[in-house]
Amino acid sequence: MGKTRRETILFSCLGSTDPVRGEHDGAMLHIARHYKPDRILWYMTKEMRLMAEKDNRYVLPIEYLKKQCPGYAPEILPPCCDELEDASDFDAFYDVFEEQLRSLSRKYPDAEILVNLSSGTPQMKTTLALLSSTLQFPIRAIQVKNFENRSGTTERTNAKTCDLEYELELNEDAEPGAPNRCSEPKLMLVQRDKQRAQIASLLRRRFRQPQPFRPGIPGGTSLRRGGQPVLDCVRWRNAAELRRDKPPAGNPAYIACIADNLSAAADRREIEGEGGTFVRNLPLSPIFRHMNGEHGGFSLPPYPQDGILRMPQKEDAPIPAARYADVEREIKAASPAKTGGNLAQLPA
C-alpha cells in the first residue's frame, strides 16, 4: 500500500508582489503551484483587503491554477482580515499570527501547516520565521526566490497601471518546465541552538553553578553530587569541542556527541526524505579519496572489531539495515552497565 499523502494548509500573508509580478508567480501563488496545499488561509491588512474587494485579485489566480492543474481544487478558508494600517510594527503581528497558526493546528490536527516567508512586510516575514521555529506542531517554512535573482524591479500589483489578467495570461511560471523557486530554510538549526541554551541555563540553576557557563570552561565547584556528567554532555556537545578540550576517556560527552549527530540525521531524514542529500545506507567513502593521491570511488563498510584487516572496496557498498541491528545489539551487550563503565570495550 502506498504512503498516504499528509494534508497541508498554506498560511500566507499577502503583499504588493502577490499574486503575480513581472509575468511570474508571486510567492503565495508559487507555493500553491508547487506544494498544492489542500487549504489556503490568507492574512490581509486593510490595504490588501481593499484591493481584494476591488478586483478579486487573490481568488482569481487560484482559479487559473485550478485550470492549469486538473484535479487540484484547494479550499479557500475565510481570510484573516486586519484593519491594521501600519504594517511595519513587529508587535502588531505576533499574537495574531500565533493564534491563527494554533487555531489551524487545533482544527486540523493531522495536517501540516505551510508558512509563506516571502510575502508581506519584513516584519511579517520575520515574525512568521520565529513562530515556525518555535511552535510545537507540524509546520514547514517556505521561501520563494525572486525570479530576477535580485531585488525586484518590475511593477508591483498595487500600481494603478497593473493589469492583473494580462499578467496571469502571460505568466511564465505556468509554462511546462518552469523552475521551482521554492526552498525550505533550515530554521530547525536556530531552534536547536535556542533549546541548547535553555538546557544549559536550567542545568546551571539545578546544580547551582556559580560562574557563567561557557563551552570548554570547567564548571564551578559547588555542583551538587551527580551533576557534572550532565554538564559535560552539554559543554562538549560537538566533535570540534571534544577535539579541542580532550576530556578523559570514558566521559559520557563522547556518547552524547554521537547521539546528537544521530538525532540531527533523523531530523534531516524527516525533513528531506530519503534520497537526495540524505542516504540512509551511505558507507564511509570520503576519507579514502586522499589515500596515496586522489582515488575516488573507494568505500569501506563497517565491520566488527574482530582483528581482521579489510581494505577499501572500489564499488559502493551499501550498509543493510540488518548491520545496524547487529551494531545495536553489540553496543547493548557492551554497555557501561555491563562493563563496569569501561567504554573502551564498546565496538567501533
Q: Work out the pLDDT band at 274, boundaries 50, 70, 90.
A: low
**18-27, 174-183, 267-276, 318-327, range with the lowest pLDDT:** 267-276
* Model pLDDT for residues 135-191, shown as the tens digit of each residue: 888 889 999 988 876 554 555 555 566 677 788 888 898 888 899 999 888 765 666
Q: Could you identify the residue written with the cell 479557500?
A: 76
Reduced to 3 states (helix: H, G, I; strand: E, B; else coil), residue 40 is strand
Does the domain at residues 8-183 carry the CATH identifier 3.90.226.10? no
Does 33 have pLDDT greater than 60?
A: yes
What distance in Å separates the CA atoms of residue 41 and residue 36, rounded to the nearest whole number?
A: 13
CB-CB contact of 64 with 74 (8 Å): no
| DSSP of 187-209 | THHHHHHHHHHHHHHHHHHHHT-
Which of 61 and 192 is assigned the larger pLDDT?
61
pLDDT of 122 higher than 70: yes
Alpha-carbon distance 65 to 61, whole Å? 6
Strands (E), 117-166: 139-144
Query: Which cell goes with 247?
Result: 576530556
3-class SS of residue 296 = coil
Q: Which pLDDT score, from 0 to 100, does residue 221 have?
A: 41
Residues in the chain: 348
Count of Cβ atoms closer than 10 Å to residue 59 Cβ? 14
Query: Rounded distance, CA 308 to CA 312, Å?
Result: 13
Contact between 289 and 312 under an 8 Å Cβ cutoff? The reply is no
The pLDDT of residue 219 is above 60: no
For residues 163 and 43, give the distance between their C-alpha atoms in angstroms, rounded to a whole number.
23
CB 52 within 8 A of CB 58: yes
Mapping DSSP to helix (H, G, I), strand (E, B) and coil, where does residue 92 land? helix
Pick 336 or 110 by higher pLDDT.
110
Condensed to tens digits (0 to 9), the pLDDT of residues 36-78 reads 999 999 999 888 888 888 888 889 889 989 998 999 999 999 9
Q: Report which DSSP code applies to 311.
A: P
Compute the average pLDDT of residues 108-112: 92
How far is Cα 269 from Cα 252, in angstroms, rounded to an integer?
26
* Most confident range, picked from 68-82, 166-180, 200-214, 238-252: 68-82
d(CA 20, CA 275): 33
- Placement of cell 570520503 in the chain: 286
Task: Tell whether the model's pLDDT for residue 109 goes beyond 80.
Answer: yes
Check residue 36 and give its pLDDT.
94
pLDDT score, position 308:
77
Write the CB contacts of 68 (distance below 8 Å, at least 6 apart in sequence). 174
What was the pLDDT predicted at 40?
A: 95
Query: Residue 266: which H helix or E strand, with range?
Result: helix 253-272
- CA distance linking residue 223 with residue 203, whole number of Å: 10
Range with lowest mean pLDDT among 33-37, 90-94, 114-118: 90-94
pLDDT over 50 at 287, yes or no: no
Model confidence at 343, pLDDT cuts 50, 70, 90, reads very low
Spans of all domains in the chain: 8-183, 186-280, 283-343
Instruction: Cell 577499501: give the residue.
Output: 312
CB neighbours of residue 332 within 10 Å: 10
Backbone CA torsion sign across 56, 119, 64, 108: negative
The residue whose grid cell reads 582515488 is: 295
Torsion sign over Cα 14, 16, 20, 24: negative
Q: Global pTM?
A: 0.55
Residue 101 CB contacts under 8 Å (≥ 6 apart), including other chains: 11, 113, 115, 131, 135, 139
* Owner of C-alpha cell 501547516: 113
Q: How confident is the model at residue 107 (pLDDT cuts 50, 70, 90)?
A: very high
Tell me the three cell numbers of residue 174: 505556468
Q: Which amino acid is residue 340, in one-letter code?
A: G
